[in-house]
Chains A and B, each alone.
Chain A
Amino acid sequence: MELKSKIPEGPLAEKWTRHKFGLKLVNPSNKRKYDIIVVGTGLAGASAAASLAELGYNVTALCFQDSPRRAHSIAAQGGINAAKNYQNDGDSVFRLFYDTIKGGDYRSREGNVHRLAEVSVNIIDQCVAQGVPFAREYGGLLANRSFGGAQVSRTFYARGQTGQQLLLGAYSALSRQVANGKVKLLTRTEMLDLVVEDGKTRGIVTRNLITGKIESHSAHAVLLCTGGYGNVFYLSTNAMGSNVTAAWRAHKHGALMANPCFTQIHPTCIPVKGDYQSKLTLMSESLRNDGRVWVPKTKELANQIRKGERKPTDLKEDERDYYLERRYPSFGNLVPRDVASRNAKAVCDEGRGVSKTGLAVYLDFADAINRDGRKTIEAKYGNLFEMYEKIVDNNPYETPMMIYPAVHYTMGGLWVDYNLMTTVPGLYALGEANFSDHGANRLGASALMQGLADGYFVIPYTVGDYLATIGPADKLPVTAPAFREAEQRVTTVIEKMLAIKGTKPVDDFHRELGLIMWDYCGMSRTAEGLTKARGLIKDLKAEFWSNVRITGESEELNQSLEAASRVADFIELGALMIEDALNRDESCGGHFREEYQTPDGEALRDDADFAYVAAWEYQGDNQPEKLNKETLEFENVKLTQRSYK
């Protein structure tokens, strides 16, 4: 398949402006003749649905939760980047662009990333106008902070609840359009299939999660804003319901999956406590601005701590190893996420980890409290400290926090062109569900930016180009055979699952999948481990389809059925992630192949052979997928070895 990225010609800074001018427009009075389905109401979906409805399109928006306001975006804590340069500290659109490309280890598209940096400034304006209560200085102007990996202060935030406030802003705009009758809202509704006919997207099939009813919805275009697939690891910082189902089912209809193995492991999460653990909690990365990361200098000391013979506060300065400050003198504790995570794993693998499990490092605020006073630290991080204490039952003002990396974000996702269209005409992917802007590693505070950029400022322009091309008549009624067949497909799979009546609950399969992925396709990977994982997943899939136990019926509210259908897709996605990780014989960003590292243990890229997007094409059940490559062109940045020394 030939991948046309449709990145416009011309100088970087003019590409988006030129492109917008070149796009076809839908006449204002014609917009109401077009129907658009928006799957997902997180930042990407809610902003898209509201903006498209404001333009006059008929929108149907759906989510699996009981309200659009509960999308996983609500949980983002730290902040959102924008190149406003309000602090006069040297930020600019180009710098944000540059940082994002470099932070992504040169595996993203220049054109997309520059556009993202450009529209970032409009996002903040929009959110403030909606009433988002961003943090402010005493003078009344907006406050900023610097955030993981950035050397300028460009992050806007609302206490530790930035995602919540941004989502509530988008949700309010969406609610206004529901009231105006321009958005039809379907909650507790899950998309289970895509309908494609004559090479165009025609609509979707859903399951009503209360009644179990399978229903069809027809539209001219479908936008998948369904978030990331981090839950393939079972334990992650994602919400319990976050899943890959919509994207995966679209993949089976020809939408390519790009760089699926690019996963972000966040360095500052609360460590795992037990096998009953159901999810992991992130401690905002902003903590690294003031907290110092360390482990005991020796294995023996670490052992004493694990056994409870000594307390961390007993350890003298020369018994501690502030390993990030030692290895990266200029960035110190603020190195990018992938680097911080890998280093935490390395010191724990050496046996110097703390906590009973040995899978934790310290994040220590003692110096910051001595320097700035407890009040200041409380004002900055009070709610995070409280959250930590609630979970761990330990007071971080008095003893260092314990943290460990956890799966957090997926850079990979559905392949999209510059217009955010997938390889299926009329099917778009926005937000974390697409692969487009973060390369092999995402910078902190850039996902919120990307979700809102896609929804507020990109899709309202680009979707019109497609709609104007096909015309309002080019739509299938829900009574068309294509919809009947899709409903039948969905029903058949559900019946097949319910008929297994095995012995093992769905969660057990999910946990096992997670362990395989974490061990072999997590923070560091080897060809040997991945090959082994390939076999393990194959077995797991076979066992799932012969031994899963789902109670209840399909025509009712049935949470174990919902979970089973998501886990089935995760297993298949896991297999593809492993193939992708095996194929990429280099290390870059979050993808660390142990075979490819510099003498001092940093990721070693291979630009000559791997400066491409790996876009996988589905070939049928249990068939190896076909690899398509989109070569990445760099005209404005020089590819260098990332160095944070």
Chain B
Amino acid sequence: MQPLRRTDYDFTTAVADHLQFLYKMKVNLKVWRQKNNNTAGKLVEYGLDNISPDMSFLEMFDVLNGELTRKGEEPVAFDHDCREGICGMCSMYINGRAHGPQTGATTCQLHMRSFSDGDTIVVEPWRARAFPVLKDLMVDRSAFDRVIQSGGYVSVNTGSAPDANEIAIPRSVSDEAMDAAQCIGCGACVAACKNASAMLFVAAKVSHMAVLPQGKAESTLRAERMVAQMDAEGFGACSFTGACSVECPKSISLDHIARMNREYLGAKLTSENMQG
């Protein structure tokens, strides 16, 4: 093991002992390996026996990748960036659940203490037609960007805004908007859905903007366009089973889907808004 620090504070050895004692978990991983989008993939087994329960799930993957690299094998590719549950980049399907066993958390927020010594852990990428696998555990989620581009904004140019306090917004309304706006765009809802529907993601954005006075004017148009784009990307239909909301790390509520259907999609998708 490498020393914690290069200079020697007197606790270094104490800490090292302590850590040595903790690095004792064994896990048996089955990880999806796929070279690229044109080749078939398969589950490959790896054993690790030096895991600390305080490690995050991704740190456990760092350990695996370090070992693979030392052996001259290719490390496992996976998406991650903030490692604190906010960027939406991490995306592992762990033991049959999007983001793993912990509810209300992303993959990067999962710790090894959620598993037991000796566990077998199966790790796969998000599976959805609209999210093609790029390599190993990485998928292409650019479909989400295109859904936002189709209407997930308020049409306001820089410099043309009135004073921020000109419109008072009841706290309950802004709280409701915030609840929806917390979506991190991770795609777990899609991965969790048997139809690979993106309805929760779309409804969260539609709701966030529609409840605020600033976003009201465009709300119907926005909903129609975003749903049309969602369909065009190949996401499936929503059958309202609620799996998405259960696996959503931000606990985005199904109510948003209900509201979107009720209030904004009453009009047919063939309304004049959708022509051209």
Q: Give the interface of A toward B (CB within 8 A).
A: 47, 50-51, 54, 65-70, 72, 74-75, 84, 86, 122, 124-131, 133-142, 158-159, 161, 164-165, 168, 171-173, 175-176, 178-179, 185, 187, 210, 239-241, 272-279, 281, 356-359, 387, 390-391, 393, 456-457, 460, 503, 505, 507-508, 511-512, 515-516, 518-519, 536, 549, 551-552, 556-557, 559-560
Contacts and interface: CB of A to CB of B under 8 A. Distances in A.
B22 A274 contact: yes
B4 A272 contact: yes
Contacts of B65: 505
Interface in B9-40: 9, 11, 14-15, 18-19, 22, 35-36
B141 interface: yes
Contacts of B84: 75, 279, 281, 387
Contact of A125 (B87, B153, B164): B164
A74 B135 contact: no
A405 to B, nearest CB: 14
B276 interface: no
Contact of B69 (A69, A140, A185, A551): A551
A69 B158 contact: no
A483 to B, nearest CB: 26
Contact of A70 (B75, B88, B150, B209): B88
Contacts of B163: 125
Contacts of A133: 174-175, 177-178, 181, 208, 212
A139 B81 contact: no
Contacts of B153: 130, 172-173, 175-176
Interface of B: 1-7, 9, 11, 14-15, 18-19, 22, 35-36, 52, 54-56, 58-59, 62-63, 65-66, 68-70, 72-75, 77, 79-89, 105, 109, 111, 113, 134-135, 138, 140-142, 144-145, 148-150, 152-165, 168-171, 174-175, 177-178, 181-182, 184-185, 208-209, 212, 214-215
- Residue of A138, A164, A536 with most partner-chain B CB within 10 A: A164
Nearest to B15: A357
- Residue of B144, B148, B209 with most partner-chain A CB within 10 A: B148
Contacts of A159: 178, 182
Contacts of B22: 274
B179 to A, nearest CB: 9
Contacts of B154: 129-131, 172
A275 B148 contact: no
A276 B62 contact: yes
Interface majority SS on B: helix, strand, loop or mixed? Answer: loop
A393 B155 CA distance: 44
B162 A171 contact: no
A511 B66 contact: no
A380 B42 CA distance: 46
Given A125-B164, A130-B153, 7 more contacts: A84-B164, A125-B161, A125-B163, A159-B182, A390-B109, A519-B5, A556-B36
A275 B4 contact: yes
A122 B185 contact: no
Nearest to B88: A70
Nearest to A276: B59
A171 to B, nearest CB: 7
Contacts of B175: 133
Contacts, number: 247
A74 B74 CA distance: 30
Contact of A278 (B1, B59, B88): B59
A403 to B, nearest CB: 15
B182 A505 contact: no
Nearest to B53: A393
Given A70-B81, A178-B149, A390 B87 contact: no
Given A54-B158, A172-B153, A274-B55, A131 B208 contact: yes
B83 A240 contact: yes
Given A165-B181, A176-B155, A281-B84, A66 B161 contact: no
Contact of B171 (A67, A140, A456, A457): A140
Contacts of A176: 149, 153, 155
A168 B215 CA distance: 14
A415 B116 CA distance: 52
A536 B134 CA distance: 39
Nearest to B211: A133
A139 B88 CA distance: 33
B185 to A, nearest CB: 6
Contacts of A387: 84-85, 109
Contact of A549 (B62, B69, B89, B208): B69
B247 to A, nearest CB: 17
A69 B75 contact: no
Contacts of B85: 387
B77 to A, nearest CB: 6
A279 B83 contact: yes
A172 B152 CA distance: 6
A460 B157 CA distance: 12
Contacts of A175: 145, 148-149, 152-153
A279 B81 CA distance: 10
Given A65-B81, A239-B83, A179 B149 contact: yes
A139 B170 CA distance: 6
A130 B169 CA distance: 14
A404 B114 CA distance: 25
Given A276-B55, A390-B105, A67 B141 contact: yes
- Nearest first, the 3 A-B pairs at minimum CB distance are A140-B168, A129-B161, A172-B153
B62 A141 contact: no
B57 to A, nearest CB: 11
- Residue of B36, B74, B81, B138 with most partner-chain A CB within 10 A: B81
30 contacts: A65-B89, A69-B88, A69-B145, A70-B88, A70-B89, A72-B81, A84-B164, A86-B165, A126-B158, A129-B164, A129-B214, A131-B154, A131-B215, A133-B212, A168-B181, A240-B80, A240-B82, A240-B83, A274-B52, A276-B52, A278-B56, A356-B14, A357-B4, A357-B11, A391-B111, A505-B69, A508-B66, A536-B6, A551-B72, A557-B138
Given A175-B148, A276-B55, A279-B83, A126 B161 contact: yes
A141 B36 contact: no
A66 B80 CA distance: 10
Contact of B81 (A173, A239, A359, A512): A239
A130 B214 contact: yes
Given A133-B174, A556-B36, A240 B81 contact: yes
A185 B5 CA distance: 42
A86 B63 CA distance: 50
Contacts of A50: 158
A128 B164 contact: yes
A75 B86 contact: yes
Nearest to B52: A274
B6 A515 contact: yes
A122 B152 CA distance: 23
A141 B149 contact: no
B165 A142 contact: yes
B253 to A, nearest CB: 15
Nearest to A356: B18
B257 to A, nearest CB: 19
B234 to A, nearest CB: 17
Nearest to A550: B69
A410 B76 CA distance: 31
Contacts of B156: 126, 129-130, 173
Nearest to B75: A560
A358 B111 CA distance: 23
A36 to B, nearest CB: 15
A209 B193 CA distance: 29
